[in-house]
Amino acid sequence: MEELGFESLLGEMRESFESGRTRSLSWREAQLKALLKLFQEKEEEICKVLKEDVGKSYVEAFRDEVGVVTKNLNSSLKDLKTWMAPERVSLPLVTFPARAELVKEPLGVVLVFSCWNFPIGLSLEPLIGAICAGNAVVLKPSEISPATSEFLANNLSKYLDNKFVKVIQGGPQVGEKLLELKWDKIFFTGSPRVGRIVMTAAAKHLTPVAVELGGKCPAIVDSLASSRDRKVAMARVAAGKWGSCAGQACIAIDYLLVEEKSASVLVELLKTAVKRSYSGPENMTRIVNKQHFQRLSSLLKDQEVAKSVVHGGSLDSTNLIIEPTILMNPPLDAEIMTEEIFGPLLPIITLKKIEDSIKFIRARPKPLVIYAFTNDELLKRRIIEETSSGSVTFNDAIVQYALDTLPFGGIGESGIGKYHGRFSFDMFSHKKPILRRSFLVEIPFRYPPWDERKLQLIRRVYQFDYVGLILCFLGLKR
């Protein structure tokens, strides 16, 4: 592809898109079915490259990526015809006879940048949405997951219509060259730093952008009346921190907020959950590379931070494994509490009362997700009404990502745009309003010359006062 030059490649894809082939339901369904076939025939190979790139076990790879994408494909195939159908829109009576609808049309040729931590899911979920909407797509996988990138490049061209779906491999320089071109939309998953670069480049062409970033996702844990609830909550907290890619996920719990009076009990339950599920390297995804390992290790080198470790903390630089680590009240100005951790280190911050967690969260950038483990309905309502985040999940963690009927995305520094299921289709579509009027009825007071009577008639139109409109038109009073 590179020998063609990216500009020539984009020109060819635009020409192919203009043929209108991607607009048909049959073309879109054929691509989705081809992806399903790819997953059926290549499941073992997919899990193998995920193991090679990020150290995921077969079960974790299937649960978090293969299964999620397969489910997305099946639900998209079931609902695609409904998504594509025009939406009827109600009109005010004064426009009679008229009708209106929203027609969904593809944006054109779109660019997708995926991330390394879920390199299959974060590549194919937006790709599926773009295909469902009838677009041509260029996918740029992350160079940090080279085996998966190679797999996608070798296989998508075999299973999908190669005129409309391309995979381009490479590092930051390739990404920069792609950003110089004019796309019809750019979808980016990654860090806020690179997200700003993408948005700056897109602004040159006024290209619309969706950026899925991250941030420090807090989990609020109140005292919980039942010992069983506390035990289940800590098991789910452990899964929300260490259960997916060893915390190397934008939706992973970044830190806990707990009450002082219940902190010791919750910590012991959390230690038990860690020992039960995440002891031993076979149950923990490794850190993706030496650079990220060193970054995470450096967070623990701060003396005050090191003092706060109450569990774990061991580092295996040979195998890039960091033991699940719990820290109690590290300094709030330390890097571990000011930057997204993106790894298996879990700070716990104690508060006098759990309601103080709302003020704590509001004082920081808006997170991608707020998790809260509580049965207190008043606290739940306050979290919903008094905080701002991409989403809120009560009494669990991470599971919301796998639900196609819920949109996924951030707000503020945690991201722009929502996708998953129907929301992915909408993200890559333009809803074009269509108004159809008849010549049968004409409204003379819409035209000059103006006078007081026409003003009164127009005023009643905007007030939806149709009785008054008729009386005024007839020269009558109420």
Reported as a single tens digit per residue, the pLDDT across 3-46 is 458 999 999 999 999 999 999 999 999 999 999 999 999 999 99
**Positive or negative CA dihedral for 153, 154, 159, 163?**
positive
Same structural domain for residues 279 and 209? no
> In whole angstroms, how far apart are CA 225 and each of 1, 414, 441?
61, 33, 67
At 118 the three-state DSSP class reads coil
Q: Is the pLDDT of residue 2 over 70?
A: no
Q: Is the pLDDT of residue 284 over 90?
A: no
Any domain includes 74: yes
Any domain includes 30: yes
**CB of 138 within 8 A of CB of 110?**
yes
pLDDT given for residue 68 in this prediction: 95
216-242: per-residue pLDDT in tens? 999 999 988 788 999 999 999 999 999
% of the chain surpassing 70 pLDDT: 98
391-441: per-residue pLDDT in tens? 999 999 999 998 999 999 999 999 999 999 999 999 999 999 999 999 998
Same structural domain for residues 178 and 200? yes
**What is the Cα–Cα distance from 470 to 457, expressed in whole angstroms?**
9
Same structural domain for residues 330 and 426? no
Same structural domain for residues 329 and 380? yes
pLDDT given for residue 241 in this prediction: 95
Q: Which of 181, 153, 180, 155 is nearest to 167 (CA)?
A: 153
Pinpoint the alpha helices (H) of 219-259. 227-242
Report the chain's mean pLDDT, rounded to a whole number: 94
Catalytic residue among 65, 212, 259, 323: 212
Same structural domain for residues 378 and 424? no
298-316: per-residue pLDDT in tens? 999 999 999 999 999 999 9
Pinpoint the alpha helices (H) of 133-166. 146-159
Query: Which residue has 């797999």 as its token pair?
Result: 151
Q: Is the pLDDT of residue 332 over 50?
A: yes
Q: What is the biggest distance separating any 2 CA atoms in the chain, rounded to whole angstroms?
A: 91
- Interval 48-77 mean pLDDT: 95
Any domain includes 436: no
pLDDT given for residue 470 in this prediction: 79
Same structural domain for residues 166 and 249? no
Any domain includes 412: no
Is 250 annotated in the active site?
A: yes
- Interval 234-251 mean pLDDT: 94
Same structural domain for residues 258 and 386? yes
Q: How confident is the model at residue 203 (pLDDT cuts 50, 70, 90)?
A: very high
Is 212 annotated in the active site?
A: yes
Any domain includes 475: no
**Structural domain count of the chain:** 2
**What is the Cα–Cα distance from 321 to 130, expressed in whole angstroms?**
36
Q: Report the CATH number at residue 161.
A: 3.40.605.10
The continuous run of DSSP H or E covering 67 comes out as helix 67-84
pLDDT given for residue 1 in this prediction: 45
The amino acid that residue 363 corresponds to is: A
Q: How confident is the model at residue 477 (pLDDT cuts 50, 70, 90)?
A: confident
Q: Which residues span the domain enclosing 279?
A: 218-404
Any domain includes 472: no
Q: Between vectors from CA 30 to CA 24 and to CA 35, what angle results, nearest 5°?
A: 135
Token digits of residue 329: 């009240």
Verify cis geometry, omega within 30 degrees of 0, for the bond prior to 97: yes
Token digits of residue 88: 């009827």
Q: Which of 302, 279, 256, 261 is nearest to 397 (CA)?
A: 256
Same structural domain for residues 179 and 273? no
Query: Which residue has 């989705």 as its token pair?
Result: 32
Question: Strand pairing partners for 325?
Answer: 345
pLDDT given for residue 282 in this prediction: 67
343-388: per-residue pLDDT in tens? 999 999 999 999 999 999 999 999 999 999 999 999 999 999 999 9
Residue count (the chain): 478
Same structural domain for residues 113 and 48? yes
Residues 6 or more apart in contact with residue 230 via CB below 8 angstroms:
224, 262, 265, 266, 269
pLDDT given for residue 467 in this prediction: 85
> Given strand 185-189, what is the order of strands in its sheet?
165-167, 136-140, 109-113, 185-189, 209-212, 415-416
Same structural domain for residues 227 and 357? yes
Measured in degrees and rounded to the nearest 5, phi and psi for residue 173 equal -65, -40
Same structural domain for residues 238 and 176? no
Any domain includes 476: no
Any domain includes 122: yes
Token digits of residue 269: 């339950």
At 439 the three-state DSSP class reads coil
β-strand 209-212 against 185-189: which pairing, if any?
parallel
pTM of the prediction?
Answer: 0.93
**What is the Cα–Cα distance from 157 to 6, expressed in whole angstroms?**
17
Q: Which of 145, 147, 152, 103 is nearest to 126 (CA)?
A: 152
Q: Which of 359, 346, 381, 368 is nearest to 234 (CA)?
A: 346
Catalytic residue among 250, 259, 413, 472: 250
Same structural domain for residues 189 and 284? no
**What is the Cα–Cα distance from 209 to 107, expressed in whole angstroms?**
12
Q: Report the CATH number at residue 315.
A: 3.40.309.10
Q: Between vectors from CA 38 to CA 32 and to CA 42, what angle results, nearest 5°?
A: 155
Category of 420 on φ-ψ map: left (φ > 0), alpha (ψ -120 to 50) or beta: left
Q: Is the pLDDT of residue 202 over 60?
A: yes
